[in-house]
Amino acid sequence: MLRHYTENGCRNQIYSRWRNGGLSSAPFAWRNGRNILKATKESIFAVVAPGLEAVCADELAGLGIVGGKAVAGGVEFEGALDELYRSNLWLRTASRLVVRLGALKARDFPDLFGKAKRLAWGKFVRPDTALEVRATSHRSRLLHSGRIAETVAAAADRALGRGETLQNGPRQRVLVRLEDDICQISIDSSGERLHRRGYRQSVTRAPLRETLAAGLLLRLGWKGDGPLVDPMCGSGTLLIEGALLARRLPPGGRRSFAFMDWPGYRPGLWRAITEEAQRRALPSGPLLVGADQDSDAVAVARDNAERAAVLNDLVLHRQEFSLLAAPAATGLLLCNPPYGGRLAAGEDLRPFFRQFGDVCRRSFAGWQVAFLAPAEQLARATGLPLTPVVSLSNGGIPVVLYRSEPPA
C-alpha cells in the first residue's frame, strides 16, 4: 500500500513521528496534507542471538516502535514499511529481520502447496527474482526439509505466474519453519546478516561478532556517556561499535538490504530515513582507547575503523595490557580476552586472568570493568568482585559477561 504514497507526504509523516519520539497509533499516509490510507502493518520478527533479546526489544522501543515482545531467539513486533526500513538500518543487536508471510496448517504436500500458493508472494518477490528457500521441521507429519522447501518454492512460482524455478539473478531468502504441523513462512528483509555492517573486511583471530559487541555495550548500559577502553582490542570491534553507538551513527548505513529488491521498495522513503539519520549523528564522541600486544591487530583495527568512518574517534596503540595506564579517572574497561577453544587451546589461562585482575585493580581503580569469560573459574581468578550479567554464545563457545563495579 505504501507504493501509493507521495514521497514528500510520507517523509513529513515519518519525520514528525520520529521527532516526537514515538508512534502513538497505526501510521497514516498523507497526500497534499490529506490522510489517504492506513499503512499496512506487517508482522515482523527480529532474529537475535540468545541472551540479547531484551536488549533488542529496548532498541526497538528507542526507535519509537512500540509493543515489541522479546521471545527466545528474537523480538516480535508489528510494523509498517518505514519501521521495517528503520529497524534494518538502526538495530545494533538483530541478526536479521523477517516479515511473516503466513502461518498455515499442512499435513501433506498437496495441502502445503495449495495453501502456500495463496500467500501474498507478489508483495515481496518480483517475477524475475529467484528464491532461496530454507526449511526446518519439528514434531510434524512433513519432515523432509528439502521437499518442504521445494514445495514452498513451487507454490511461490505458481503464485508469481512463472512456470519454472529461477536459478540466476537476485535471490530472495524465504524461511520456512514447520512445528506441530503449523508451517510459518517468512520473507527475509535484510539479505546478508546484519552483523555485516560493511566495515570489517580484515579480522584478527577470534573477532567478536559486531552484533554481540554492540549488545555487550548496550547490556552494560553504555551509550557513549564516558570513556571506553578495550585493552585487547584485536580487530577493534568493541571500539568501532562503541563509536557508532556514541555518535548515534546507524550500524547499517553502509550496506544494502534485501527489501531494496522488493516490488514495493520506496527509494525516496529510504533516502528520507538515511538523511534523517545523518542529521541526527553527533560530530564527536567520548574517549575510545584500544590496545593490543599484536601490531598486526592494531593495524587491522585501524583499517576497520577507517572504513567505518570513526578512525578519528579512536586512540589505538600497540601495548601489552599490563603496561596500560587509565586515560581518565573513570570509564568502562570492556574486553574479550583470549580464552580456551579458538585462542588458547590447552593452556591454563588462570594466571593470565589473575594478571588481568591485578592490572584492573592497580591501574583502573575507579573504572567499571567488564569482560567475557567461558568459565567461572577463569572469571574468579581475576579476584575482582564480579557479577555475572548475561549468558551468551561467542562463536559457538558459551560465555558469560561479567561486570565489576568500582568501589563506591
CB of 337 to ligand SAM, least distance (A): 6
Kindly indicate which of the ranges 35-43, 119-127, 200-208, 397-405 contains the residues binding ligand SAM, using the contact rule CB under 6 A: 200-208
237-296: which residues touch ligand SAM (CB under 6 A)? 237-238, 292-294
Strands (E), 328-386: 332-335, 368-373
CA pair distance 256, 198, nearest whole angstrom: 9
CB of 246 to ligand SAM, least distance (A): 17
CA pair distance 404, 390, nearest whole angstrom: 13
| Grid coordinates belonging to 275 | 538523511
% helix / strand / coil in the chain, to the nearest 5? 35, 25, 40
Specify the residue for cell string 509493543. Answer: 67
| Grid coordinates belonging to 296 | 598486526
Q: Based on the number of CB atoms within 10 Å of its own CB, is 346 exposed (0-12), middle (13-18) or buried (19 or more)?
A: exposed
Which of residues 338 and 374 has its CB atom nearest to ligand SAM in the complex? 338
- Residue 292 DSSP class: E
Which of residues 44 and 298 has its CB atom nearest to ligand SAM in the complex? 298
CB of 339 to ligand SAM, least distance (A): 7
Please tell me whether residue 358 binds ligand SAM under the rule CB under 6 A. no
CB of 277 to ligand SAM, least distance (A): 25
Q: Is 381 helix (H, G, I), strand (E, B) or coil?
A: helix
Beta bridge partners of 71: 74
Kindly indicate which of the ranges 29-37, 115-123, 199-207, 219-227 contains the residues binding ligand SAM, using the contact rule CB under 6 A: 199-207
- Is-contact 105 181, C-beta < 8 A? yes
Which of residues 87 and 336 has its CB atom nearest to ligand SAM in the complex? 336
| Grid coordinates belonging to 354 | 589473575
111-150: which residues touch ligand SAM (CB under 6 A)? none
Please tell me whether residue 368 binds ligand SAM under the rule CB under 6 A. no
| Grid coordinates belonging to 122 | 507478489
Please tell me whether residue 204 binds ligand SAM under the rule CB under 6 A. yes
Q: Is 175 helix (H, G, I), strand (E, B) or coil?
A: strand
Distances (CA, A) of 380 to 369, 371, 375: 14, 12, 9
Which of residues 234 and 331 has its CB atom nearest to ligand SAM in the complex? 234
315-334: which residues touch ligand SAM (CB under 6 A)? 320-321
Q: Please select the residue that binds ligand SAM; options are 234, 250, 285, 290, rule is CB under 6 A.
A: 234
Please tell me whether residue 235 binds ligand SAM under the rule CB under 6 A. yes
Q: Is 355 helix (H, G, I), strand (E, B) or coil?
A: helix
| Grid coordinates belonging to 248 | 548515534
Please tell me whether residue 207 binds ligand SAM under the rule CB under 6 A. yes
Which of residues 238 and 314 has its CB atom nearest to ligand SAM in the complex? 238
Please work out the total of residues on this chain that contact ligand SAM, with binding judged by CB under 6 A.
20
CB of 342 to ligand SAM, least distance (A): 8
Q: Please select the residue that binds ligand SAM; options are 208, 218, 288, 316, rule is CB under 6 A.
A: 208
CA dihedral angle for residue 213, residue 215, residue 219, residue 221, rounded to 10 degrees:
70
Kindly indicate which of the ranges 49-57, 159-167, 190-198, 206-214 contains the residues binding ligand SAM, using the contact rule CB under 6 A: 206-214
Please tell me whether residue 343 binds ligand SAM under the rule CB under 6 A. yes
Residue nearest to ligand SAM (CB): 234
Kindly indicate which of the ranges 9-17, 42-50, 157-165, 203-211 contains the residues binding ligand SAM, using the contact rule CB under 6 A: 203-211
Within 10 angstroms of residue 187's Cβ, the number of other Cβ atoms is: 25
Kindly indicate which of the ranges 167-175, 214-222, 229-237, 274-282 contains the residues binding ligand SAM, using the contact rule CB under 6 A: 229-237
Own/partner pairs for 6-10, CB < 8 Å, 24+ apart? 6/30, 6/31, 6/32, 7/266, 7/268, 7/269, 7/272, 9/33, 10/82, 10/266, 10/268, 10/269, 10/272
Q: Please select the residue that binds ligand SAM; options are 149, 269, 297, 381, rule is CB under 6 A.
A: 297
Binding residues for ligand SAM (CB under 6 A): 204, 206-208, 232-235, 237-238, 292-294, 297, 320-321, 336-338, 343
